[in-house]
Amino acid sequence: MKTERRPLPTLSMYRITARLFTHVEASVSNSFEEEGIRLVQRGVTRFGYDLAQNIAVRASEEGEAHVLSDYIPKEVEKKKLDLNEATVYSQMAKLFGQVAKVVVDHYGEEGKDVVREGVRTFGESRGKGIRERAAHLGLDNTIENYLSNYDMARSELFEMETIHKPEVIEQTFTVCPFGQQWADDDMAEYGILYCEMIDPSIAKGYNNDFDVDHDRYVLKDGVCEFKFKLKK
């Protein structure tokens, strides 16, 4: 008797946050070496060691390999904070924003490109994971199997509409907790670096023939509009 495979569990925001940090840190440290490492350390310090430790501990316990712990002093107590869902999403935005800010403020446009590169590799790693999630169920990496095997749970903190058409998925987001946090913190200049790269990169990691049109952003236009295209 053939056993039906169950979908793999989605990644927690702790794992996703630690992985994003790890990719951005790699891009910054590879590009700017010791000065880049000092800047990343400054960003983590501004974010807060207690919050960073909470993310690092939880991500490690869930099996995520990351470097966030390397930027936290050893004397900081390892403890779990009882946080609600909205707080965890806001923390990812805040940690990314603080690291991006110190890099961009120091290196300008070159810094922006380096942060974008970190988001790109992060996104592609997640896309490959989504492809593996589909393959686990015996499914190909087609457009029909993309969102149904997504690696991040669809939180009610996002407000969106999704329309499936032949060879195209159209999505419109009117509320995004990441964008809202960057707007609240006056960090839109840094948060947009994530927004510009993330969805096209995830899609490319899932299937290299995926194209994503993303011309409008919550941080700029009050709405995010996507068209995911993959010809059969």
Give the CATH number, domain containing residue 134. 3.90.1520
Copy the structure tokens of residue 87: 């707080």
Q: Which amino acid is at 69?
A: S
Taking only the tens place, the pLDDT of each residue in 108-129 is: 999 999 999 999 999 999 999 9
Burial label, 232 (beta-carbon count in 10 A; 0-12, 13-18, 19+): exposed
- Residue 35 inside a domain? The answer is yes
Q: CA-to-CA distance for 201 and 208, rounded, in angstroms?
A: 9
Q: What is the number of domains present in the chain?
A: 1
- Residue 6 inside a domain? The answer is no
Taking only the tens place, the pLDDT of each residue in 61-113 is: 999 999 999 999 999 998 889 999 999 999 999 999 999 999 999 999 999 99
- Residue 26 inside a domain? The answer is yes
Helix (H) or strand (E) holding 21: helix 13-47
Taking only the tens place, the pLDDT of each residue in 173-201 is: 999 999 999 999 999 999 999 999 999 99
- Residue 182 inside a domain? The answer is yes
On whether the CB atoms of residues 219 and 97 are closer than 8 A, the answer is: no
Helix (H) or strand (E) holding 228: strand 224-229
- Residue 162 inside a domain? The answer is yes
Containing domain of residue 123, as a range?
Answer: 13-229
- Residue 7 inside a domain? The answer is no
